[in-house]
Structures are given as structure tokens and as C-alpha cells.
Amino acid sequence: MNISLDFPLFLTFPEFPQSLTTTATSIIFLIYTERMTRMFIRADKSVLQEAITPTLCAVAGKSTTAALECLMLHATEEGILEITGYDLNKGVKTRLPVLVLEAGGVLVNGSQLNAFIRSLPDGEVSIATDERLVTTISCKKSKFELHGISVDSFPTLPELNGEKRFELEQGLLKKMCQQVIFSVAQISTKPHLTGVLFEIKENNCRLVSCDGYRLSIRNEAISLMTGEEMSFIVPGKTIGELIKLLDESEEKVNVELTRKYIIFSFKEMIFFSRLIEDTYTVYQKSIPSEYRIQAKVELSEAMSSVERASLVIDEKTKSPLKCTLSHDGYMINCVTANGRVDEEFSIEFQGDDAIEIGFNYRFLLDAFRGAGMSGDNEVMLQLNSPTLPMIIRPVDHDEYLYLVLPIRL
């Protein structure tokens, strides 16, 4: 059924002749097609898949806004396809050279696009979007169709040019993040504890994380590109995704900072995230300046002992490991409903009296593994009493420090 307009068409659309008569349906169609963006590109499947995969971490799983579940595909006249995911908190943009037969853009569901591309046979893939935003993906004799959305629906991206910047190698930044990520709080009433603190000053980059039970610090010398000191908190989830995106290479990562965002640029990729707008706790006060007891231990032996002891611990009860340090050595004991374990190995002990102290085995193991990533064979354990935290640090450098609170035995 045709629906007639009850006002003159030329009053609303002056570009149309006054004599033109039409229905509301045809007007809507004309407006709709006028705004459509067409696109037609061809690219190798493996290269396309490699560019899509990193962007998926910034696609919202389920959202009331359909555009947040989409990837934005934008083909330029210069022969570049830009793929962008953005969930309003973090985003990823990748770029790859393709054969652009018609420049333009479209939004398509990210998980569906990824599944379709992944299922295609190896070879050249064509992606074509028509006036109705129906996007056809084809390779050899396989073809899929996705209903796209106008790029106008995609949220506006933040400014991605920071005023402050520094550089680190990919492999180094990845390792630094891995050495502190485990002590980020998963849930906390204090927002800053759910992130990693970056402190950049005096050509040193320090990463700090604390969940209220343990503290991790990682230091690394860097060259500042702007010469300015920086302090900012990156969400733990962002750090987790960054670890997945980085490789082990010596290729540089350009890190830029704006007032509200952190931007990591490497390879043909830009990864950006909102910062946590909070003040980090004064963690330095938690680190003692003097110690009553110090013990040098072989790292691999300490890790193996804790791993074996953990086999009798029920995750529900989380029985503490009893650690005894003395001139006789380092003894680990644990008795649970599942069984009993006793471990002993030699150490270099400094102190007058032996000490018995309890720990969550997982906290100890995380710290030992973090220390192991720096390639050290030995670490120094520093303590004052069974109720105060233990410090785990290198023997002859200051690359890292771990603080672990004890558990009452």
C-alpha cells in the first residue's frame, strides 16, 4: 500500500522538482541509497586473516549497539585496507596492502567475518559491498553474504597522536608485562589496583602492580623521545591483550600518551586503550628498608619445591605452605586432607634465628616464575617476621622486586 505525504515534497527536499510525486517508501529508498558506501577489494586469505585476528579483542561480545559488535573495513584509494575494532574502552586498527577495485567502507559483524574468512580455502578472497550494504565474501567456489551497517554508525575514534612518547622493543615490553600481570587485582573497590602503573622518569620505565596481597615491580632503562616524565595506569585487561599482540622480536613499539588514552604502535597495527583515571597507592612505603633475615636460594629448586607441594593443596581450602628458613636450609611443609608434602634444600642463610612463615603457594610460584623470566639462577629472600611481607629480588641487580604477604599458620 502506498502512503501519501501530506506536505509538499519540495519543502523538505528542495533538490527534487516540485512536480515530483512519490511515496514515503520511495523517498526512504532514495535517501538510503544516496548514503551508501560501496567497496570492492581482493586480498590473500592468510594475509587478511592475520590482519583480522588482532582486532577481535576490541569487538564487543554482546552489545545493545550493533556497531560495537562490528569491525570497520575501510579500503583507501592508495590500495590499503584498514580494519578497526573499538568497544569504547580499547581499540585495534590494522593495515594491509590489498587490491582496491573500489574504495569505501562498511561495518560487518566481527565474529561472523572472522569465522567466514577462517573457513575459506587458501587463495585470493574478494570482499564486495553493494548499495544495500550486503557484503559478499568469496574465494574460489565458496561465497558468503553478510548484512553490513553504514560506517556512520561506528563510534568516533579518539585522537591517536600523543604528546608524550617513548620506545621499547616488542619482546622486552612483552616480558615486562608478563612479569607483573599476575598481581593485578581482578576485582577491587580501588580502580587503580585493577591496572598496571607505568612510571617513566630519569630514563627508566617502571611497571607496578598490586592486588592488596602482593606487589610486583619491573624496571628497565629506556630512551625518552620527549624527555618528559610520565605516570599513568593501564587497565589489566588491556595489558593482557597487549601481551597476546606482541611478539618476541626486537622490533620497536612506539608508546604514546594522551590525557585519557595510551597508544601502542607496532608492525602495521595500532592498539589503544583508555587509561584508569585514578591515583596509584604509595606502594614504596610497603617495602622495608632493612631486613632481619636474608637467604640466597637457587630459583629452579625453589620453584620445583613449591610446584610439588601444591599437588596436595585443595584450591577451595587453600592451605598455606609452611616455609622454614634457617642455617640448616629451606624447608617447605604442607599438610592437607589430600596428603602431606615435605621439601628441603640448602640455602645461604644470613640471620641469627630461624623463621617459620606461611604463604599462599600460588603467590610464591607466580613471583618465582616472574623472577625466572629475567634469566636469574638465584634470588634473594628478605624477611623480618612471620607477620610481615617477604621480599624476592635479584642477587646482583634491581630489574625486579616481588613482595608477598604471609598467611597465618
Q: b vs e for 139-155, b when ≥16 Cβ sit within 10 Å of the residue's Cβ?
A: beeeebebebbebeebe
Q: Which residues touch 60 (CB under 8 Å, ≥6 apart)?
A: 68, 69, 87, 88
Cβ proximity of 193 and 161 under 8 Å: no
How confident is the prediction for the chain on average, in pLDDT? 89
User: Rounded CA gap, 91 and 67, in Å?
Assistant: 13
Cβ proximity of 155 and 67 under 8 Å: yes
Q: Is the pLDDT of residue 354 over 70?
A: yes
User: Rounded CA gap, 91 and 72, in Å?
Assistant: 11
Instruction: Please tell me the pTM assigned to this model.
Output: 0.87
Q: 3-state secondary structure string, the chain?
A: CCCCCCCCHHHHCCCCCCCCCCCHHHHHHHHHHHCCCCEEEEEEHHHHHHHHHHHHHHCCCCCCCHHHHEEEEEECCCCEEEEEEECCCEEEEEEEECEEEECEEEEEEHHHHHHHHHHCCCCEEEEEECCCCEEEEEECCEEEEEECECHHHCCCCCCCCCCEEEEEEHHHHHHHHHCCHHHCCCCCCCHHHHEEEEEEECCEEEEEEECCCEEEEEEEECCECCCCCEEEEEEHHHHHHHHHHCCCCCCEEEEEECCCEEEEEECCEEEEEECCCCCCCCHHHHCCCCCCEEEEEEHHHHHHHHHHHHHHCCCCCCCCEEEEEECCEEEEEEEECCEEEEEEECCEEECCCCEEEEECHHHHHHHHHHHHCCCCCEEEEEECCCCCCEEEEECCCCCEEEEECCECC
User: Rounded CA gap, 391 and 384, in Å?
Assistant: 10
Band of pLDDT at residue 3, cut at 50, 70 and 90: very low
Q: Which of 19-28, 174-183, 284-293 has the lowest mean pLDDT?
A: 19-28
Residue whose entry in the numeric block shows the C-alpha cell 621480599: 391
Q: Is the pLDDT of residue 14 over 70?
A: no
Phi and psi at 160, nearest 5°, equal -110, 30
Domains and CATH numbers, the chain: 39-153 (3.10.150.10), 164-274 (3.10.150.10), 287-404 (3.10.150.10)
Q: Is the pLDDT of residue 36 over 60?
A: no
Closest C-alpha to 219, from 9, 113, 370? 370
Terminus-to-terminus CA distance in the chain, angstroms? 81
Within 13 Å of residue 270, how many CA atoms lie on the same side as its CB?
20
Q: How many CB atoms lie within 10 A of CB 131?
A: 12
The pLDDT tens digits for 178-225 are 999 999 999 889 999 999 999 998 889 999 999 999 999 999 998 776
The C-alpha cell at 399 is 630489574
Cα diameter, the chain: 103
The pLDDT tens digits for 230-244 are 999 999 999 999 999
Dihedral, 310, 315, 318, 322 alpha carbons, nearest 10: 0
Band of pLDDT at residue 155, cut at 50, 70 and 90: very high
pLDDT of 345: 92
The pLDDT tens digits for 262-285 are 999 998 999 999 999 999 999 999
User: Rounded CA gap, 261 and 160, in Å?
Assistant: 8
pLDDT of 10: 34
pLDDT of 191: 96
What is the mean pLDDT of the segment spanning 95-110? 97
pLDDT of 228: 78
User: Rounded CA gap, 235 and 253, in Å?
Assistant: 18
